[in-house]
């Protein structure tokens, strides 16, 4: 091992693996919709840690619940019954209509659980090598199975061999799925994001999910919704599938469920969930009392504050202000989204706007190279939402 440098000679972060292109910001504190750097400078957070902090930062109810839980019980193994885990599973069943939940610690882990259920379902149908249909523009996480299901050469490059068992079709094209149903008999299910996040905040046509639901019912395939980014109120419904009135067989959650306390969840209909037997899946931390207390508190606060109505109204306000402010700007292709998951697609790459936004004291990001993605906290004030819109309008008009 090379000798560690004395602290005085180290450059900040040199002992952290270099896996992220980081902004030149050193964030130490948050409050509501705002983040603060080491020098006390405030930044409006229009990204919420990539769709995580829907209740904003340092929410007093969540801070109190976490502190109380830390003084009561952080963790006990899943070899015992954990009442907080059962309580959160009950709440998620009530909100989603899906019967049972497996708890884990991240979106990628929730996806791994979904992939394992799909394989069990396929084998139960007598398929030797069950395939899962995935779509173009998808993002499902960074583990080996997740990156294999993801449609991104950048995410996959260097990690070959990829995991097999995925068939890719174009997003928002149910006819291609129907064609596969006619030509193959080794398919166990379909996986997609009901609104694509990393893929550029892409909302499919009305009726697409319902048509997939119909095909899955007919073929006995699992319809699996990755709601890691869309889930837990962000789009103005608890889950984005609910906009289309459909119930998937499997649904994954993470990001906003814990508001920053790591938690993931894979929910399923009873018939599918019961493919797991004791010993088939597990996670040391998964569903521990701290994470479940955080999840329960997030849902409590959201219900108490009428967050769905609020999110719908703020989303309309944000998209409306963006459309008015960007009217006639020829490089704007589309302002789209649902609730407070909003994308502004330009006709050219615009990654440099992320740095420029910092000059306006706002944090946002750009996906698919040409789409500004806004995920402001659902607790933002109308004035804060207006400021997000004004900043984006000024940035785009400066291009």
Q: By the criterion CB under 6 A, which residues form the site for ligand PLP?
A: 106-108, 111, 139-141, 193, 197-198, 226, 228-229, 254
Of 193 and 249, the one with the shorter C-beta distance to ligand PLP is 193
Comparing CB distances to ligand PLP, the nearer of 85 and 367 is 367
CB of 74 to ligand PLP, least distance (A): 20
User: Which CB, 229 or 365, lies closer to ligand PLP?
Assistant: 229
Query: Which one, 141 or 343, has the nearer CB to ligand PLP?
Result: 141
To ligand PLP, the closest distance from the beta carbon of 262 in angstroms equals: 8
- Supply the DSSP symbol for 341: E
How are strands ordered across the β-sheet holding 362-363? 27-31, 34-37, 42-45, 362-363
Q: How far is the CB of 8 from ligand PLP (least distance, A)?
A: 35
CB of 264 to ligand PLP, least distance (A): 6
Q: Least Å distance between CB 107 and ligand PLP?
A: 2
Q: How far apart are CA 47 and CA 54, in angstroms?
A: 10
Q: Which lies closer to ligand PLP via its Cβ, residue 265 or residue 326?
A: 265
Structure tokens at 361: 């004291």
What is the DSSP annotation of 292-304? HHHHHHHHHHHHH
What is the three-class DSSP state of 343? strand
For ligand PLP, the nearest residue by Cβ is: 107
Nearer to ligand PLP (CB atom), residue 48 or residue 391 = 48
Is residue 169 within 8 A of residue 180, CB to CB? The reply is: yes
**Minimum CB distance to ligand PLP, residue 203 (Å):** 14
Token pair recorded at residue 339: 């609730």
Strands in 17-165 per DSSP E: 27-31, 34-37, 42-45, 100-104, 131-135
Residue in 45, 39, 40 with CA at minimum distance from that of residue 365? 45
Bridge-based pairing state of the strands 34-37 and 42-45: antiparallel
């Amino acid at each position: 091992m090379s000798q560690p440098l004395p602290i005085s000679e180290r450059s900040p972060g040199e002992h952290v693996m270099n896996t992220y292109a980081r902004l030149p910001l050193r964030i130490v504190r948050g409050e509501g919709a705002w983040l603060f750097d080491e020098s006390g400078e405030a930044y409006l957070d229009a990204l919420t840690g990539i769709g995580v902090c829907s209740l904003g930062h340092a929410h007093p109810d969540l801070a109190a619940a976490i502190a109380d839980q830390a003084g009561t019980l952080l963790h006990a193994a899943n070899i015992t019954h954990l009442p907080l885990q059962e309580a959160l599973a009950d709440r998620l069943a009530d909100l989603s209509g899906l019967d049972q939940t497996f708890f884990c610690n991240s979106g990628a882990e929730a996806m791994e659980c979904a992939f394992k259920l799909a394989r069990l379902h396929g084998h139960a149908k007598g398929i030797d090598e069950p395939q899962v249909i995935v779509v173009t523009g998808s993002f499902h996480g960074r583990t080996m199975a997740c990156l294999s299901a993801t449609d991104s050469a950048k995410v996959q490059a260097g990690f070959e061999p990829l995991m097999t068992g995925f068939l890719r079709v174009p997003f928002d094209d149910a006819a291609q799925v129907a064609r596969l149903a006619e030509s193959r008999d080794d398919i166990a299910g379909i996986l997609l994001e009901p609104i694509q996040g990393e893929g550029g905040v892409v909302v499919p046509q009305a009726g697409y999910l319902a048509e997939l639901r119909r095909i899955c019912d007919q073929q006995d395939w699992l319809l699996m919704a990755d709601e890691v980014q869309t889930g837990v109120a962000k789009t103005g419904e608890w889950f984005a599938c609910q906009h289309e009135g459909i119930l998937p067989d499997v649904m994954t959650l993470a990001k906003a469920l814990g508001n920053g306390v790591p938690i993931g969840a894979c929910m399923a209909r009873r018939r599918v969930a019961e493919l797991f037997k004791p010993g088939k899946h597990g996670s040391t931390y998964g569903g521990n009392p701290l994470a479940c207390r955080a999840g329960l508190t997030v849902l409590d606060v959201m219900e108490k504050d009428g967050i769905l109505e609020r999110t719908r109204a703020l989303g309309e306000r944000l998209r409306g202000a963006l459309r008015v402010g960007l009217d006639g700007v020829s490089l704007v292709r589309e302002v789209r989204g649902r609730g407070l998951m909003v994308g502004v697609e330009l006709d050219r790459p615009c990654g440099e706007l992320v740095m420029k936004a910092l000059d306006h004291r706002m944090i946002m990001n750009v996906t698919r190279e040409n789409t500004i993605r806004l995920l402001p906290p659902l607790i933002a004030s109308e004035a804060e939402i207006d400021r997000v819109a004004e900043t984006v309008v000024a940035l785009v008009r400066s291009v």
